[in-house]
Amino acid sequence: MPLIGYLRLWLACLRYSAVRAMMFRFDFIMWALVELFWMGVNLLMVSVIFNHTSEIGGWSKPQMLLLLGTSMLTQRLLMGFFWSNLFEMGRNIRSGTFDFFLAQPGNPLFMVSTRKVDLDSMANVTVALGLIIYAVRELGLQPGLGDIALYSLAVLCGLAIHYSVLLLTASLTFWTIGSQGLEGGYFTLTEFSRLPREVFKGAANIVFVWILPAVVVSNVPARALLDGFNPTLFAWLVGSAVLWLFIATSVFKRGLKRYASASS
């Protein structure tokens, strides 16, 4: 299928998601408020901490707000575009309804990843962007187009890493009974993205920064605005995104080969 065909499929899925959200307006508003409350709690926590200290790991309060906003932005994009789709993939594999995706005209991975868009999460992307803009102004930064482009690229790489890890854990359902615990555990790990890389020492630095890059997905974009382009960190982030995507898609393809459909 040509690229324009996939774009039309995704737009059709987006329209379906919008219609569904408007049919269940109360659920849409409730979950948007729940996520907004969660974001508010994180913001309040930072404010309380900085009432007792002037910095965390060398980061000032405005810098921490920039880091927090970046972490929120990546997580809201992850939740909005991919979380529900991949979380439901394991249930579809176990029930045999995964056949539905195999019968679609597009690539199975594309279909299983993009069928739904959670608009309640996407609504709070604007809140995260607002916090980022506020922090940038408080810091007196004036990022140019190049800085914004680097920041956007880093955010997309972080999103690709999150997506890959979720796809990898969901694909394990081809071999196991379920993977909901692993998926929930990884979401807990993403909470570390709100912390500066400098606070992780020893084994924690190896695990959460280099092996599971749950920290650099927010630290690298924030540093791109604060300090400009860092070749080492960007190379690691891009390389990690490519590596995780390769591993996740390879496991997914191997799982497809052993999938026993509901009709077989």
118 contacts 79 by C-beta, under 8 angstroms: yes
pLDDT above 70 for 186: no
**What's the pLDDT score for residue 182?**
59
Residue ranges making up the domain that contains 192 = 3-258
pLDDT band, residue 91 (cuts 50/70/90): confident
**Of 101 and 185, more confident:** 101
Handedness of CA 175, 245, 99, 186 (dihedral sign): positive
Nearest partner of 162 among 128, 211, 213, judged by Cα = 213
Task: Write out the two tokens for 134.
Answer: 């506020």
- What is the tally of structural domains in the chain? 1
What mean pLDDT do residues 39-49 have? 81
**What's the pLDDT score for residue 251?**
92
**What's the pLDDT score for residue 9?**
78
Q: Determine phi and psi for 107, rounding to 5 degrees.
A: -60, 135
In a domain, 263, yes or no: no
153 contacts 161 by C-beta, under 8 angstroms: no
The rounded mean pLDDT for the chain is 82
112 contacts 101 by C-beta, under 8 angstroms: yes
Nearest partner of 135 among 192, 59, 80, judged by Cα = 59
Q: Determine phi and psi for 56, rounding to 5 degrees.
A: -130, 115
262 contacts 97 by C-beta, under 8 angstroms: yes
40 contacts 124 by C-beta, under 8 angstroms: no
User: In whole angstroms, how far apart are CA 120 and each of 32, 70, 78, 87?
Assistant: 5, 18, 12, 17
What mean pLDDT do residues 51-60 have? 80
Give the highest mean pLDDT range of 53-57, 84-88, 180-184, 195-199. Answer: 84-88
**What's the pLDDT score for residue 260?**
64
pLDDT above 90 for 27: no
In a domain, 264, yes or no: no
What mean pLDDT do residues 172-193 have? 68
**What's the pLDDT score for residue 132?**
92
Tell me, what amino acid is at 87?
F
In a domain, 31, yes or no: yes
- The reported pTM is 0.85
In a domain, 79, yes or no: yes
pLDDT band, residue 185 (cuts 50/70/90): low
**What's the pLDDT score for residue 244?**
92
Neighbours of 96 (CB within 10 A): 14
Q: How many Cα atoms occupy the beta-carbon half-sphere of 212 within 13 Å?
A: 20
High-pLDDT (> 70) share of the chain, %: 93
Distance CA 68, CA 218 (A): 8
In a domain, 97, yes or no: yes
In a domain, 96, yes or no: yes
**What's the pLDDT score for residue 76?**
87
Whose tokens are 């309380």? That residue is 48
Distance CA 20, CA 224 (A): 38
What mean pLDDT do residues 221-249 have? 88
Give the highest mean pLDDT range of 47-56, 60-69, 190-199, 254-263. Answer: 60-69
Q: Is 180 exposed, middle or buried (0-12, 13-18, 19+ CB in 10 A)?
A: middle
Distance CA 217, CA 242 (A): 13
Distance CA 158, CA 8 (A): 26
In a domain, 22, yes or no: yes
**What's the pLDDT score for residue 1?**
66
